[in-house]
Structure 1
Amino acid sequence: MQAPDTPPNEAQRLQALRELQVLDTPTDQAFDRLTQLARDLFDVPVALVSLVDQNRQWFKSHLGLSAEETPRCVSLCAHAVANDASLVIADTLDDARFADNPMVTSSPHIRFYAGFPLRPHGDLPVGTFCLIDHQPRELSARDHLLLENLAGQAEELLRQHKISADLARTAKRYEALFSSSAVAKVRIDRAGTIIAVNAAVFGLLGYRQPELIGQNVAVLTPPEIAAHHNTYINHYLAGGRPKVIGTGREVEAQHKAGYRVPVHLAINAIHDDAGNVDEFLGVLTDLSDIHATHQRMQKEQSLLKVLHQGITDYQALMSGERLWTFLMEALRDLTDSDYALIGEVLPTETNRALKIHAITDLSWSQESHKLMERLRSGNMMLTNPDSLLGRVFAYGEVIMTDDLYQHKLRGGFPPGHPPINNYLGVPIFSAGELIGMFAIANSQQPLSQELIDWLQPFTDTCALLINLYRQMAEREQVTRDLAHARDQAEQANRAKSDFLSSMSHELRTPLNAILGFAQILANGKRHPLSDKQLRQVNQIDKSGQHLLSLINEVLDLAKIEAGRLPLSIEPIHLQSVLDDACDTLAANANAASITLLRCRVPANWYVYADYTRTKQVLLNLISNAIKYNRVNGRVEISAQQQDSTIWVHVTDTGPGVAPERQDELFEPFNRLDAENSTTEGTGIGLAITRELVNRMGGEIHVESTLGQGTTFCFSLPVVRDSAAAAKPPSNAPKRAASGVRHERRVLYIEDNPANQRLMEDIFDDVDDVVLQTVPSAEIGLEVIRGRLPDLVLMDLHLPGMDGYQALAAIRRHPELKHLPVIALSANAMQSDIKNGLEAGFDDYLTKPLEIDKLLDTLQRYTPSRGSA
């Protein structure tokens, strides 16, 4: 038996078959009528509509044959499909291809076969229309033409079947898009009458479907708009410019209960085949949560503004005797209250008393006005512990009620007193001591524990200001004491850092001269050096750079051992810090002909660590792996999670380290005889790395095989809290988008993680700028030498080399001396700015950072280049 061949376009043919959506569908009378007609016309027992699938032939119609499908390998139709031509076999027993075919030798005992390929779409045959007889017979030319016409009719039926399936699917989609949509949708006719609504309208506006069908759509709009609603539709139908139709905007819808719901309304005009407007579809998106969030944000901003002004303008407010009035009015605004008071709790011989500093005027008569003045002036103390105020200032209780007139502590209101609907009294504590209270009445907000919690920053600020107020009489002495304590602390800090400062200054001063003159000699144009002299000068510069690196690492190690290196432990995104470190050293790896392979870890892997110091650990390990490697070697970074820790592995293909000497790797200044090689190093990088990992709660190990390479692995604690890990990584440098767009590259040298995040957030909205952040000037200089940025933002107080020293190193280099370098510092005195500009910075920006000024400075020194 000869099995049918597989057509060269089999994949496309099978795709065309599946797109018909006919396989395994129920019996269809239209197809059966067609095959019955063929049986009658040709007087044959079997007529089939056969579709050749991947491993079978399946019959859409199989009159005269009980089987619904057969294997493809025994299918005669598959031969016709493979050759993409009609196939007529007068006697199968005389054809060597089919004489031993099971379909011939056993049921259904095929002796005659005639099949014509079915191509319902294009030129891809998906099956055949075929005739089968149990006796040999011939097929005339007229019969062949008739069979071809029947096959054409079968092709049309297949096309109609696909159209019906597509229409059914489209109808289901429409039903899902309209009736089952979670968004409220309304269909109206040209007259504005509602003809259909979905279930979401009830959830949004409270109306059920029968209540709206046949009503004018104006029933869903506020009264002031309802009367003009039909005018808008008629205006649009008359060709006027649409205001909502086709554009969408935020409006208010009228709820069945009478209140208004903020929504985004989008109305689309639906046209008939002639292009005329047949009906309109309105889509209403609930904006209630967004509006509520906006109102909460406004409240939060108001709260922050009050706290900021209360603290920063304390002296001015106090000198003008406006502090307490400012706080009271702020409290009223924050809580939407008619009345408020703020007072200070003072101890008495028996209990406590309340001295009112500010109170809203509640007077209703001449006498009550005088009483309010006495209370406001502080000449009158409140001492009753069993009143609504007394329970707060005497016992520190929170008193909250929405029915003041039925409250057991209400002492009664005289005739004419303004009505009080609700009341909230909150005690103010400082270090467990009751020092004050505030109260509000007639608040438009619901009184609840949630409101009290939200006001806690305000309460804490009041506690701070009350304490400051109490200390005014002793302010000068406190100021002197603070100044004396500050002087002592500064003197102690200076004494602790004298050695490090002296070492840094005394060693860097001659070293800067050595490196500077070496570069002058190397780059001299008037008196060029010979090749031998140039090699000697380059050796001076190389050795000087090595000494400078040693000095910086010694200072860094000294800070760690002295406990003077602060860490900011927080959840950090592991992939971000891995990419950041690899991107920084990519140029170094390329220069050394080393392949740098980085892993991709799961997106939800976060660790508790200091981002800057974790990056420093990675930079030290990857840099060593590049330096101590073989030519055309490989460095691979990988990670795996074990219980509550994540282990990061840095593997190289270098010479390896003998097992008996691996413990020496972490000893300061021990380079395992590498000092006799051409590879530069200080010998304390791994010592610093181990101290940093240990201080971040991790471990570090080394595994090495002589002649095969070395793996350093360190661990960090896993972040288990999904909420803490939900924050997107903010420390990693922003990357350039792919494409041909010319982008401005800005290098930011800053060791403070919070400042790094702030700058990255700022530059996130600047489309054509790529920001790269590094934690030290030393790393920054390496990045600049690897790839020149368009601008450098430089913090002045940096670990190791400070901003002034980094600027000097940049200006000494002939290729870098014109690079724009902007100082960024919290030293904001005029003398600081003057010193920075005189030192050679192109500009000097101060902290807190003014974003507009930063962006103006960026545009001034690196104008946008646009697209290529």
Structure 2
Amino acid sequence: MRTGASQSNPGAKGRQLVIDDLAEQRERRRLAALRSYDILDTPREKDFDDIAALAARVCATPIAVVNLIEDNRQFFKAEVGLGVRETPFDSSFCARAILEDDFLIVPDARDDHRFKSNPLVTGEPHLRFYAGAVLKTSDDLPIGTVCVLGFEPQELDALQQDTLKILARQVMVQLELRKALKEKAREADVQRRLSERRLARVTAMEQQDERSRNAQAAGRIGTFELDVKTNAMLVSREFCRIFGIPERASYLATEIEDRVIQEDRVMRSNLINRRDGTASPDVDYRIIRADDEELRWISRRARFVHDDKGEISRMVGVVFDTTDAKLKETKKAALLKLGDALRSASSVHEINTIAAEILADGLCVMRAGYAAIDRSDDGIALAFDYASPGTSSIAGRHVLSDFPASMERLRQGETLAIEDITCCPWLEQEWEIYRSLGVAAMLKIPILKGGNLVGVFFAHEEKPRGWSQDEMDFARGVADRTYAALAKVQAEEEQELLNHELSHRLKNTMAMVQALAGQTLKDVTEKEAVNAFIARLHALGAAHDVLLQQNRSVARMRDVIEKVLGLHAEGNRICLEGPDLALGPKAGLSLSLLLHELATNALKYGALSNDVGQVSVQWQIADLDGVATLSMTWTESGGPPVVEPTRKGFGSRLIRMGLAGNGNSHKQYHASGLIASFSAPLATIQETDG
């Protein structure tokens, strides 16, 4: 029956299962509540240590603990008299205490059936007394105790018990406060992260705006949005910079339109053609910037925006500063124009005039020109300069030594781009001169020939201004082309002068010889000698024609010497010694003229003026400072004593010009005869580009 009764009582088992399930749920809730305080296994803290110390002192016990009960252990947040931070759950007094309502006291554990078999009672440390106030959450869930323990039986009076309970509540206040602070910290962290994300989005937008502004600035692109009805324009920062106006968010359209120069105003939009949509969407015009009054080229691109009724409401678009591109195109066209003009120019003055005007126009300066440098007389020769209306010309001669600092830099091949002379300390000693010329900024391009400064192209401006790389490149282009044209014309003029003088001399000589021959030989019966003499005269005329050629083919040096000197003396009176080498056309002509003059002088005054004198011509190639150099020596002997002439004419000038017109010549007038020496770089002598 007992068995049957047991088996026939399923309701009791069901109730027990329900109780067990509820207990399990409550335990899960309790553990969750405990862990929500995030207090387990944390370091000791003074606030809790003070509570444990006060409990031990008030209750006069050797041990006091702020104890938290987990599922398999008890953790001591604070303790007095134990020396450990946790103990196993099985031997816990407090595990029993949390099953009580609020407070558990055990005066003598040996007499309490719940604890008398506890190993902490029967063995070390032989606990006898226990009292604990339960730590409860606001949901009435026990999570631990504030307890005191002793090794002797003991009782607590009402004050001591109330103190333990108060201390337990203080522990919960501390835990709740910690929890609230952590919740607030978590909320603050969430807010911080949200703020950071919002800030990141704002920053990204600002960075995007900044990148957009930087891109607009780099491309010189301004944006605008014009309300057709109100005539108000929303403009970007770069738009304001392009027009040179103060940076503002909006302007009236008329304020912007007034910046367009008078000649281009027909191309701008206006109130009427914007409203009817007839304004040209794409135009190019020039403006005068408001801040610096500079002339700038602007390209405007726009479109119309319509409202819901289909009417034009806005005009939006961009403006580009195309000044640099326009100026670059202008400079390119100017260089092409310069090349065409220089090809047809036939004089130095014409070349200087063309170059100065194009340089001044291309750089938009008040004055420009070319100055030739003559170091021999400390002079700067400025034959012509271009000066804008109202600007005085500085053409004429200037003193080279008045510009020591700038000339020194120019001699070194440095281009001088001075934005403001008063901001250039190394130029201080020249300030007054430039001020007297009305110069505040300048650009100077040196022209070097053979390492020597021979000329300067210059541009002057009356106000400080910068010089862009494009402008300096343009000035160098003008300088290079112009100097090449000047060199060509000057060479042609010098050649023409030489040819004219030589032709005049030879023709006079021929006329005189022919007259003498006619008078002297008219009665000679030995016609063979007469014919030989006449043939020699014809040979001299033929040599004259050869010497005047502008583009002689390459000749051999010995052939040139023999041909020229053969016209003046018999072969046995001329001694030639040197390597047979090729001469370029210019050197061949120069050598012919030089030998002709030397031989003519020898016929008149020197070794060839009698019947026994001789001339020796020796030449050789030597290495001088790493440069292959041709040296030639003319030596006369056996003639009458010679003295240096006091009058020096064209012939002397020809001799001083040397082998290739480089002036490296030296003459010695000895009693025994003239000795003249000449030298020139072999590369110059053999240069075929005449």
> Normalising by structure 1, what TM-score?
0.27
State the structure with more CA Rg: 2
> Normalising by structure 2, what TM-score?
0.33
